[in-house]
Amino acid sequence: MTNKPTPNQTNKPKIQYDYDAIIIGTGPGGEGTAMELSKKDKKVAIVERYKDVGGGCTHWGTIPSKALRQSVRRLIEYNSNPLFRGHEKAKRLTFPEILKHASAVIRKQVQLRSGFYDRNRVEHLVGEASFIDANTLQILKNDGSIEKITAKQIVIATGSHPYRPNDIDFKHPRVYDSDTILTLTHDPRSIIIYGAGVIGSEYASIFRGLGVKVDLINTRERLLSFLDDEMSDSLSYHLWNNGVVIRHGEQIERVETTDESVIVHLASGKKMKADCLLWANGRTGNTADLNVENAGLKADGRGQLKVNDHYQTQVENIYAVGDVIGYPSLASAAYDQGRLAASAMIDNQSTAKLIADIPTGIFTIPEISSVGKTEQELTEAKIPYEVGRSQFKHLARAQIAHSLVGSLKILFHRETKEILGIHCFGENAAEIIHIGQAIMQQKNGGNTIEYFVETTFNYPTMAEAFRVAALNGLNRLF
């Protein structure tokens, strides 16, 4: 006689989802997640509110601002190079003119990234996503139709947008944020930039390089206070030396607009007038339209979501990566966060993590890049360190390229000679830093400043700065 299964023994039907995973957003975080999951044979869809992939990184942030910066840097180089001096008057470009180069780069990036999704069989859905529940999304399409899709796991990679206080009229044609500045069509003679963080400092360099009068309002007491003090001071000096007026410790009280200008009233009583205002003070995570509460989630006051070490939210099947989770808010880190989240989604035993020392690249003119600890942090921790320095003006390659402004600083332990931090200011700093970063990642005693003395560098190169700085530092030991 065959025993019939009891109700508790009956197998429940397995839930069938449309996809293994859906990723909301196609910036670096979303792309990193989608690529990793698709290569592990998962059925993946991406949801993007715009017809072109790439997210804010490609269309409004990293790519266009760095393309603008590159054009301005070349213009400055041309006008300051003795080879061309005296042959013709200084060349001048307007902001709309240099935007053409940025637009071309954006098109190439979109084409490239679209190809990644196509080759990896990741389905691209265009529309506005919002949660119905933890496994179901509603997609509001451009034609007004609605589609519902389900997935076993969902990743929120929606990025962030500029913070907009209610008392500032961002619809006025003279008021911009870091997204809308790319729609600037007139040729301003002066600009006020409110917020001297990374975005504000980069745009201050860009506009001043175009010959625009720049007032940079810093709500703090020093520029980019997370940097090593010497790097922050170097940036302040070079912005000042190039004609940027920096006002530290100021707050906007109100903004007055006219057809031809903006007048900024500061809380200290000062008044400033310019052709336009660029608001670059703070960013907010893109969660307001997602209805995350329907999935059991809650964003904080800055629109950001909390995650654990595996980028998992408090809802087990929902993950979040990139700017929407806050620090470090870097495109490079977001892509790696996506890859790590995908690994955790596939194998919840995954222990992979971001590297401890994530390099920062700030594309001012000149640019800044750092990895590891600052002098202030080492002093506070009472770690006995020494400093090795090299100045670009002494390097043959810098003299050949007429890129004399800048320096490289290596911080290392006096006893073990372990490299603790590297800070670079000058042209191509964000490229140069990776040489030092690679050595810092070496294990079993491989991370020492002596590497730069014992190895042979191409000559003449900017990489020689590491050898010069290492010798300088080792000579300080006794």
Widest Cα–Cα separation across the chain: 106
Helix 28-39, helix 331-346: angle, nearest 10? 30
Question: Does 43 carry a binding-site annotation?
Answer: no
Helix 62-80, helix 95-119: angle, nearest 10? 140
Question: Does 54 carry a binding-site annotation?
Answer: yes
Question: Does 56 carry a binding-site annotation?
Answer: yes
- Phi/psi region, residue 19 (left: phi>0; alpha: psi -120 to 50; beta: rest), is beta
> Which residue, among 434, 420, 282, 424, has the nearest Cα to 363 in the 3D structure?
424
Question: Does 276 carry a binding-site annotation?
Answer: no
> Which residue, among 180, 178, 183, has the nearest Cα to 196 in the 3D structure?
178
Question: Does 57 carry a binding-site annotation?
Answer: yes
Question: Does 307 carry a binding-site annotation?
Answer: no
Question: Does 51 carry a binding-site annotation?
Answer: yes
Question: Does 424 carry a binding-site annotation?
Answer: no
> Which residue, among 116, 135, 113, has the nearest Cα to 39 in the 3D structure?
116
Is the CB of residue 332 less than 8 Å from the CB of residue 358?
Answer: yes
Is the CB of residue 123 less than 8 Å from the CB of residue 46?
Answer: yes
Question: Does 48 carry a binding-site annotation?
Answer: yes
Question: Does 52 carry a binding-site annotation?
Answer: yes
Q: Which two tokens stand for residue 431?
A: 């490229």
Strands of the sheet containing 406-413, edge to edge, are 360-362, 368-372, 419-426, 406-413, 385-391
Helix 229-241, helix 198-209: angle, nearest 10? 30
Q: Report residue 6: phi and psi, to 5°.
A: -75, 165
Residues annotated in a binding site = 48-57
Residues annotated in a binding site for FAD = 48-57
